[in-house]
Structure 1
């Protein structure tokens, strides 16, 4: 979770809240089966095999105050409301706990002494964190969640421009509080904290206009706020997130890039750069927020600091034995300058450009910009919707092609200037289009290369027909389009 305080948790005495062992015994007696207790630094969760009962600890931290019963009740209600946005099938209701602290119970009469959020318990091994540890986290699940997150963010309300959330000052304050917390909880980290503080401040000063622009453009939205691997779950119906931030609006009213950066960072920290960039590729493709690449690296580093803070608050009891060093080291690495490079693809439809680009971005940590997606976005068409455009009309008219390549150029420049290796996935059959992107790389002083793909015409036709029949690809190129491409393509020059 996102934690910002310099203070470790102040444990409450048993008189301030229910005796969790007594509540567990009551539940086991009522249900006639074993109940498991899971504990975090701010909550207890009782798992009875069918339901999960989440009770907030009566603790005070710098970033939350659960000392009073009314505050805990209000946060339970807010947790239910917020998490039903992404996981309505998991979050059932808020249940009062009655009796007395030494003998609490979920039934009976009397004034409530505590509250619990009642959820459906999902199967063990369903969390991204569990699947990653078991080596079973599939790229398909990661991409499905990327699409789910993008759809959620596109529908989420934007923050009022006068609200403090997402401002350069708030971004700086969040970062400073996380670093302060690490210094207070782990004194040996002070030299690292001092160095990181300076580097973050330099980055934040340079990015201040970008942070302001993000807010003006409406990209500060009511999101999740805590998208680490243990908060994403594979259900029968969908891959989604749960357990969002409910106790502080400022921790969930954040830049969409900040929200997505958490999961990408966590995958990087666990040595799965391939999945991290598969996630970013699918998410950016669905959301279209390539302008946000200017701030993404900052937020990736910030999220690594947040996870290091959580580990510090837990007093060294980390989720895994190497998590702390990985997060701290990753935060440092993410703030280092990188040499971007530009690669464009070349080849007719069905030649394997997109497949090759997707494999390459996993290995190189690159951002991919796809013509098939951006062409449809320009015309307000969904990625998998069909425009039924005729040759030389609609999406395949000359002006549509010109607009598409102009947009690809614009986005490639944004990505490169933000320091990201960039792949532009398009046919690039015209020499003039290739030369324009070569000139862009030269102007920005970055390496340039062309990834050329080809196949026998029979194979090209088979691939296109099969792809069209599946209906699961944004490309609308059919065999008619292929014929036009084959007859009109301009060959690559030797230089």
Structure 2
């Protein structure tokens, strides 16, 4: 194993940003690679806060940026060489035959750059050395390129992730956790001092983005929650150490780092690989397994699939018998969402990242910090808020306002219906009433999926907002009855408006929808997805009115019904609603 290089003794290099940028421009040329590069797409770069990843049709070259963010330090070439080797060593067991080794970057006498041959860890030549091509000036991890379509992230967005697949992934992660090392040194990273240090470092780095990607009151609320949770559960954290739950984990178990590949032979199951294990900071890798499980659960929650998150968690606990993990899940999910929000925020200050990437990163950071705040709101008596009414009555607007006010997750039948049909949310569907993806079978499928996801939130103690028509009394009763099993109170907010106003709204909205679907190339934010996915049109209004089943207090005993006129201005309407909710 390579000898560790300590940052305190490392010499920092001048003008590293300018040199690194110049080097990258040279390394995306076909002649920069040590193999015949005659076919396929040109190489291109993906930028992260820590790496520049150059992709070719068959291989990936991952360079570490000459940066020191505190939680990682790649500021010298000696450190980059060391951590490139460590990345290969740590990841090979979880992704066999994917991490091929380390390639030096060579600068010729004429000032051009190219990649050298790939070396196994332990045999990588030292920086400053010479070969026939020039001087060794930097290093890259070399990997086989895997299809992006095989990531859990891509499979999820393609609608190809099932509870059964999450069970297989849970088995893979559980097996890794039971086999990976623990000892007194590793266990020390589960101490209260280390946990507090991790949070303090996070808060220090998040503070710079107050007013940009995180609001001051959110920042303060997160600090207060962390302080109270650590104080209330100190004994549990100590027990986790005693029972060997602090392990040498993966450290960055994101959807993009889980790959599902075909089996190598017909007798075997599909292969599940875990890539990009953290090599740069053992403090972030040595952790409670609960923190690692929370990372993947948080990612699934962010994708609005709490049902898959619950499936993964349930099967992981079945595999390991680790029941106390569930108590820590909101705390560590909050931590992981904060880390993701912070990392996305760091891209806003990276000069090598494009403006479009920075805007995307900013929205992701905002959404991540709001998700972190949501984890602080777990309750034994959550709320199920159904916001319904016929098309054009403003239910999606009200649902979105409630989400902004209370920070509860928001699920929309319009978005779920399009997802199940594998259609883009912005893609208008000109269907007759009750036809196509709006026929009774599709509607039953949509409300079943909505209910599954809503109950998963409630089971974990999180209130949830549902945006849909809820024209069927049976649909309302089923969701409310199951919610009651989780200790939840069900509210049905029925939005109403005069016919002429509703028809005017529908005409204006449909015109905007069609124009937006043609003009935009960017996806909507999570908060705006619901209203943008609606296919309501004026000519469908009367048919939907005819199929509406009025709320019957005598039959819908588990539902508190609130009728909300939506003619007034938004602020006035919301003030009325909040007063009614608090009654």
TM-score (norm 1): 0.65
Q: Alpha-carbon deviation of 1:96?
A: 1.7
Query: Is the Cα–Cα contact under 8 Å of residues 187 and 244 in structure 2 kept in the other structure?
Result: no
The structure 1 residue matched to 2:250, chosen from 208, 211, 224, is 224
Change (3 A) 1:31 1:447: closer
Query: Is the Cα–Cα contact under 8 Å of residues 142 and 275 in structure 1 kept in the other structure?
Result: yes
* Equivalent in the alignment of 1:264: 297
| Secondary structure at 2:315 match in 1 | helix
Query: Is the Cα–Cα contact under 8 Å of residues 209 and 345 in structure 2 kept in the other structure?
Result: yes
Q: Say whether residues 1:137 and 2:170 are aligned partners.
A: no
* Equivalent in the alignment of 1:464: none
Cα distance in 2 between the residues matched to 1:251 and 1:302 = 12
Q: Alpha-carbon deviation of 1:234?
A: 1.5
Matches of residues 376-387 of structure 1 in structure 2 within 5 Å?
Answer: none
Q: Alpha-carbon deviation of 1:137?
A: 3.1
Query: Is the Cα–Cα contact under 8 Å of residues 46 and 54 in structure 1 kept in the other structure?
Result: yes
Q: Say whether residues 1:277 and 2:310 are aligned partners.
A: yes
Change (3 A) 1:293 1:273: same
Query: Is the Cα–Cα contact under 8 Å of residues 378 and 462 in structure 2 kept in the other structure?
Result: no
- Alpha-carbon deviations, 1:153-184, whole Å to 9, x = none? 01011141685301112112212221221211
- Alpha-carbon deviations, 1:13-55, whole Å to 9, x = none? 2335761121121336941242122111211111111111111
| Secondary structure at 1:105 match in 2 | strand
Q: Say whether residues 1:103 and 2:112 are aligned partners.
A: yes
The structure 2 residue matched to 1:153, chosen from 177, 197, 212, is 177
Q: Alpha-carbon deviation of 1:322?
A: 4.7
- Alpha-carbon deviations, 1:262-299, whole Å to 9, x = none? 01001101111111111111211112111222212210
Change (3 A) 1:56 1:18: farther
RMSD: 3.1
Cα distance in 2 between the residues matched to 1:335 and 1:27 = 50
- Alpha-carbon deviations, 1:387-408, whole Å to 9, x = none? xxxxxxxxxxxxxxxxxxxxxx
Gaps of 5+ in 1: 1-9, 342-357, 369-417, 422-445, 449-495
| Secondary structure at 1:86 match in 2 | coil
- Alpha-carbon deviations, 1:74-98, whole Å to 9, x = none? 1011100111121122111112222
- Alpha-carbon deviations, 1:104-145, whole Å to 9, x = none? 222453442111111110113121222223333333332221
* Equivalent in the alignment of 1:311: 344
Q: Alpha-carbon deviation of 1:67?
A: 1.2
* Equivalent in the alignment of 1:205: 231
Query: Is the Cα–Cα contact under 8 Å of residues 246 and 287 in structure 2 kept in the other structure?
Result: yes
* Equivalent in the alignment of 2:82: 74
* Equivalent in the alignment of 2:285: 252
Query: Is the Cα–Cα contact under 8 Å of residues 345 and 361 in structure 2 kept in the other structure?
Result: no
The structure 2 residue matched to 1:32, chosen from 34, 38, 44, is 38
| Secondary structure at 2:148 match in 1 | coil
Moved over 6 A (4+): 358-361, 418-421
Change (3 A) 1:321 1:111: closer
Query: Is the Cα–Cα contact under 8 Å of residues 88 and 141 in structure 2 kept in the other structure?
Result: yes
- Alpha-carbon deviations, 1:221-256, whole Å to 9, x = none? 001111111111122241221001100001000000
- Alpha-carbon deviations, 1:315-356, whole Å to 9, x = none? 282657753333222211211241179xxxxxxxxxxxxxxx
Query: Is the Cα–Cα contact under 8 Å of residues 77 and 94 in structure 1 kept in the other structure?
Result: yes
- Alpha-carbon deviations, 1:352-389, whole Å to 9, x = none? xxxxxx99976523899xxxxxxxxxxxxxxxxxxxxx
Change (3 A) 1:319 1:130: farther
Cα distance in 1 between the residues matched to 2:82 and 2:146 = 25
242-251 vs 109-118, which deviates more?
109-118
* Equivalent in the alignment of 2:275: 242
153-162 vs 143-152, which deviates more?
153-162
* Equivalent in the alignment of 1:7: none
| Secondary structure at 2:244 match in 1 | coil
* Equivalent in the alignment of 2:536: none
The structure 2 residue matched to 1:334, chosen from 361, 375, 386, is 375
The structure 1 residue matched to 2:193, chosen from 156, 160, 169, is 169
The structure 1 residue matched to 2:324, chosen from 291, 311, 325, is 291
RCO higher in 1 or 2 (8 Å CA, sep ≥ 6)?
A: 1
Cα distance in 1 between the residues matched to 2:458 and 2:321 = 12
Query: Is the Cα–Cα contact under 8 Å of residues 73 and 79 in structure 2 kept in the other structure?
Result: yes
Cα distance in 2 between the residues matched to 1:60 and 1:30 = 35
236-245 vs 48-57, which deviates more?
236-245
Q: Alpha-carbon deviation of 1:219?
A: 0.6
The structure 2 residue matched to 1:92, chosen from 79, 86, 100, is 100
Q: Say whether residues 1:23 and 2:31 are aligned partners.
A: no
